[in-house]
Amino acid sequence: MEDFKAAAKINGISRMYLLKRWLLDFAYPNRCPFCDKIIPFDEYYCAGCGSFFSAPPEKEELKFLNGLTAFTSYDTVSRAFVAELKSNNNGYALSAAAYMIFKRLIEEDFIADLDCITCVPMRRKNIQKRGYNQTKLLAKEISGLLGLPFVPLLKKTKDTLEQKSLSAEGRRVNVKGAFSVASKHYELNGKNILIIDDVCTTGSTLSENARTLKSAGAGRVFAAVFAKTKLY
Ligand SMILES: [Zn+2]
Delimit the domains of the chain by residue range.
2-228
Q: What is the pLDDT of residue 2?
A: 58
pTM summary value? 0.92
Inform me whether the pLDDT recorded for 29 exceeds 80.
yes
Cβ-based neighbours of 202, under 8 Å, separated by 6 or more: 163, 168, 171, 172
CA of 76 to the centre of ligand 1 (A): 18
Collect residues with CB below 5 Å from ion ligand 1: 32, 34-35, 46, 49
How open is the CA angle 140-120-78, to the nearest 5 degrees? 80
pLDDT in tens, 69-78: 999 999 999 9
Structural element, H or E, at residue 226: strand 221-228
Q: Could you tell me the pLDDT band of residue 1, with boundaries at 50, 70 and 90?
A: low
Nearest to 140 by CA among 148, 132, 150: 150
Report the separation in Å between the CA atom of 99 and the middle of ligand 1, taken as the mean of its atom positions.
15
Predicted pLDDT of residue 60 = 86
Res. 39: pLDDT tops 90: yes
Q: What confidence tier does 6 reach under pLDDT thresholds 50, 70, 90?
A: low
Ligand 1 centre to CA of 36 (Å) is 6
Number of Cβ within 10 Å of residue 75's Cβ equals 14
pLDDT 10s digits, 107-149? 999 999 999 999 999 877 777 777 778 899 999 999 999 999 9
How far, in Å, is the centroid of ligand 1 from the Cα of 32? Answer: 5
More confident residue, 49 or 4: 49
Question: How many angstroms separate the first and last alpha carbons of the chain?
Answer: 45
Residue 24 has pLDDT above 80, yes or no: yes
Expressed in angstroms and rounded, the spacing between residue 47 Cα and the centre of ligand 1 is 7
> Is 152 in contact with 119 (CB distance < 8 Å)?
yes
Q: Is 225 helix (H, G, I), strand (E, B) or coil?
A: strand
Q: How far, in Å, from the CA of 62 to the mean position of ligand 1?
A: 34
Please say if the pLDDT value at position 232 is more than 60. no
Query: What is the pLDDT at residue 3?
Result: 65
Mean pLDDT of the chain: 90
The reported pLDDT for the residue numbered 133 is 84
The rounded Å distance from CA 190 to ligand 1 centre is: 42
- Measure 123 CA to ligand 1 centroid, in angstroms: 34
Q: Which residue has the higher pLDDT, 159 or 83?
A: 83
pLDDT at residue 166 is higher than 90:
no
pLDDT digits (tens, 9 = 90+) for 170-183: 888 888 888 989 87
The Å distance, Cα 168 to ligand 1 centre, comes to 36
**C-alpha 34 – ligand 1 centre gap (Å):** 5
2-228 folds as Rossmann fold (3.40.50)
Q: How far apart are CA 114 and CA 147, in angstroms?
A: 11
Q: 68 by DSSP, 3-state: which?
A: strand
Q: When comparing pLDDT for 129 and 205, which is higher?
A: 205
